[in-house]
Amino acid sequence: MLTENTDRAPASQKVKKIEGGNAGAIGGTIKVTIDGKETKVPMGTTILEAAKSLGIRIPTLCHHEDLCVAGVCRVCVVEVEGQRTLQASCAYPITQPLVVRTHTRKVRQARRHILDLLLSEHYGECYSCFRNNNCELQSLAKEYGVDSYRFGHPDKPRFKKDKSSYAVIRDMDKCILCRRCVRTCIDLQEVGVLEAVGRGDSTKIETFASKPLSDVICINCGQCINRCPTGALRANDPSDEVWAAIDDPKKHVVIQTAPSPRAGIGEEFGLEPGIPLTFQMNTALRFCGFDKVFDTNFSADLTIIEEGTELILRLYKALVLKDKSAVLPQFTSCSPGWVKYIEHFYPEMLPHVSSAKSPQQMFGAVIKTYYAQKNNISPEDIVTVALMPCSAKKFECNRPEMCDSGFKDIDYGLTTRELAQMMREAGIDLPKMEKSDFDDPFGSATGSGVIFGATGGVMEAALRTVVELVTGEIHDPDKLAGMVSEIRGFEGVKYKELPLPDKFGPVPDILKMNKNVPFKDWNWLKGATLKLAVCHGTANAKKVLEDIKAGGKFSECHFIEFMACPGGCLGGGGQPIPTSPEIRAKRAKAIYDEDKAYKVRKSHDNPAVLEIYQNFLTEGPCSHRAHELLHTHYTPRGKYMV
């Protein structure tokens, strides 16, 4: 099976993978003494990793748990007995017994000099920076007693801010050349928009030919933002426009909230990762002035019905009608970073992508049509705001084709970080807010919608519905999760074969609503085995797509879930900073725990979804009307069109 890119693993992990997990094959464990504490570590473990295992903190700037070793900032230098010069602990593999000291006078002075030199090139006033009080450079300057600019300080900007992108703003005056963004873009995501160019004091981080972000192949995922230690990268924040809409008495302002922000927003208010604040957030949003607070899980459930129906129709065309226009495997389409990735790098494979819009965009179209009619509100007076964990959602809502309601379907996209700042402006201490529910008619949701936030969640939610619709039997979601446990977790690419039972139920009423559904029973699925895959992070997506092109095992899949961000949406580019494997795991646990708290846990049981088909999309899923509002179409050039 394909696995995650090992190039970005810590040195000790690389050794284990090379040797098939047996570190002893190349020398076993080695004794190391750090600040008087002794331990044994596998050969190849870095000094930084060894220190962490002893509970000893060594400061870092260029180092990040998600990224490969760089060793460029030198903030993590330590003294190694017998070595003439200080060594970068993040890049020093232990291959023989060592004695290390991490906070001697020589080390402290070196770190202070490094910070002074970094600050001499760092233009900007901290109080007006969005990373104020959450800036790694600022924190280290305070820790090492920096109270003046010993080597001077830029008195004016040297670079023009790049505000061309709907998703990401670059301010290179705040860049400290740690290259985290470069390694994120090249190694973690394998997109390659950013690179260090020039030498010595002429070095800077640039795009291809110094073009603005809007003119290069940036997929807007925002992973560079989440790993930047300063304010050099940030999301394009529309909160001023949102406040203006809230303050306009003529505007009816509604907000939809995705599942992942609820699992992460508490971190912005000092809580440990993994503490969801779903219902406190509802109260806080009303306090901010939003007229209605809706649950994106509603449209996630709608996505499952539409995307699942599309998959069933593709399978029938391919397996029964032998229609070559039915392209398999079908790829998910709810991650806009992933969609932009395939548009840029594999446009010839766009027919594999489901035509179903993302939950965000489905909701926008529904609000400015069905909801507007139901409540006798002119769509032009409705302002739709989407709270998302993702910076790519900002680009998605501004795509010119996303106006199937006759208006811009989603007006503004807010990240988790931006909403937290709006709440602080409003004097809200979120953890102390009372709980309240979502507003009708989109207040009812299911656990299936919630788990969309974690990698594998879309696939699991789809299976909860598909298995019941096909078999006609009720399945416990937790038992089903056990049957398909391979699709949960953080392995880069996951694969599952699911044999279908011999016993089938009747074709459900919701599918019968669509008169174009060509089958009357499920017998054509007898003996079939569904082949499924789940992939997160575009570096892993590249491996899967190349495997499909080569006719490998993933070319035999029927359905593949793709997410642009590591861990899925819970690791999105708009989530609280910092992020790490441990933090993503805690957010995932919060999402799965919340799923279990729902009474209704399957998309096809959501009463609000059933109601919209009964009263509005009356021709059923994947019908002409559903396609007009809830689906997109591709031109031969690989672009969306209405």
From 310, 343, 460, 594, the catalytic residue: 310
> How far is Cα 258 from Cα 235, in angstroms, rounded to an integer?
18
Side chain identity, residue 637: R
Domain boundaries, the chain: 6-103, 116-235, 254-642
Q: What is the CATH number of domain 116-235?
A: 3.30.70.20
- Tell me whether residue 569 is one of the annotated catalytic residues: yes
From 136, 268, 307, 460, the catalytic residue: 307
What topology does CATH give the domain 6-103? Ubiquitin-like (UB roll) (3.10.20)
pLDDT, residue 324, reads 85
pLDDT, residue 2, reads 38
Q: If 0-12 CB within 10 Å is exposed, 13-18 middle and 19+ buried, where does residue 632 land?
A: buried
- Tell me whether residue 535 is one of the annotated catalytic residues: no
pLDDT, residue 14, reads 39
> How far is Cα 640 from Cα 624, in angstroms, rounded to an integer?
18
From 143, 348, 401, 582, the catalytic residue: 401
From 73, 90, 569, 622, the catalytic residue: 569
Q: Which helix (H) or strand (E) holds 531?
A: strand 529-536
Q: What is the tens place of the pLDDT at every residue in 140-172?
A: 999 999 999 999 988 899 999 999 999 999 999
pLDDT, residue 27, reads 55
From 62, 181, 334, 557, the catalytic residue: 334
Q: What is the tens place of the pLDDT at every residue in 125-134?
A: 899 999 999 9
Superfamily designation of domain 254-642: Fe-only Hydrogenase (Larger Subunit); Chain L, domain 3 (3.40.950.10)
- Tell me whether residue 228 is one of the annotated catalytic residues: no
CB atoms within 10 A of CB 152: 10
> What is the pTM (predicted TM-score) of this model?
0.92
Query: Whose CA is closest to 98, among 21, 60, 43?
Result: 43
Respond yes or no on whether the N-terminal peptide bond of residue 576 is cis (omega within 30° of 0).
no
Asked if 120 and 137 touch (Cβ cutoff 8 Å), the reply is: no
- Tell me whether residue 62 is one of the annotated catalytic residues: no
Q: Is the pLDDT of residue 16 over 90?
A: no
443, 447, 448, 453: CA torsion to nearest 10: 90
> How far is Cα 445 from Cα 70, in angstroms, rounded to an integer?
45
Average pLDDT of span 104-128: 94
Q: What is the tens place of the pLDDT at every residue in 588-629?
A: 999 999 999 998 999 999 999 999 999 999 999 999 999 999
Q: Is the pLDDT of residue 34 over 70?
A: yes
In b/e form, how buried is each residue of 478-487, taking b as 16+ CB within 10 angstroms? eebbeebebb
- Tell me whether residue 401 is one of the annotated catalytic residues: yes
Lowest mean pLDDT, pick from 23-37, 83-97, 290-304, 484-498: 23-37
Pairing of strands 77-80, 292-295: unpaired
Cα 359 to the chain's mean position, in Å?
A: 14
Q: Is the pLDDT of residue 641 over 60?
A: no
pLDDT, residue 325, reads 85
- Tell me whether residue 310 is one of the annotated catalytic residues: yes
Contacts with 20 (C-beta within 8 Å, 6 or more apart), sequence order? none
Which pair of structure tokens corresponds to residue 101? 């000291």
SS3 call for 197: strand
From 393, 394, 543, 602, the catalytic residue: 393
- Tell me whether residue 125 is one of the annotated catalytic residues: no
Q: What is the tens place of the pLDDT at every residue in 349-362?
A: 999 999 999 999 99
| DSSP string computed for 391-422 | SHHHHHHT-TT--TTSS-S--EEEEHHHHHHH
Q: Is the pLDDT of residue 13 over 90?
A: no
Cα 605 to the chain's mean position, in Å?
A: 27
From 12, 89, 299, 354, the catalytic residue: 354
Which pair of structure tokens corresponds to residue 587? 């957010």
> How far is Cα 534 from Cα 548, in angstroms, rounded to an integer?
14
CB atoms within 10 A of CB 201: 7
In b/e form, how buried is each residue of 158-168, taking b as 16+ CB within 10 angstroms? eeeebebbbbb
Q: Give the 3-state DSSP-derived string for 223-283, with helices as H, strands as E and coil as C.
A: HHHHHCCCCCEEECCCHHHHHHHHHCCCCEEEEEECHHHHHHHHHHHCCCCCCCCHHHHHH
Query: Whose CA is closest to 118, among 98, 101, 103, 139?
Result: 139
pLDDT, residue 125, reads 85
Average pLDDT of span 9-25: 37
Domain 116-235 in the same topology as domain 6-103: no
Side chain identity, residue 243: W
Which pair of structure tokens corresponds to residue 592? 């799965």
Tokens 């709270």 sit at which residue? Answer: 387
Whole-number Cα distances in Å, 355 to 14, 128, 334, 339, 350: 40, 42, 10, 11, 10
Conformational region of residue 145, where left means phi above 0, alpha means psi within -120 to 50, and beta covers everything else: left
Cα R_g (the chain), whole angstroms: 26
- Tell me whether residue 434 is one of the annotated catalytic residues: no
Q: Is the pLDDT of residue 566 over 90?
A: yes
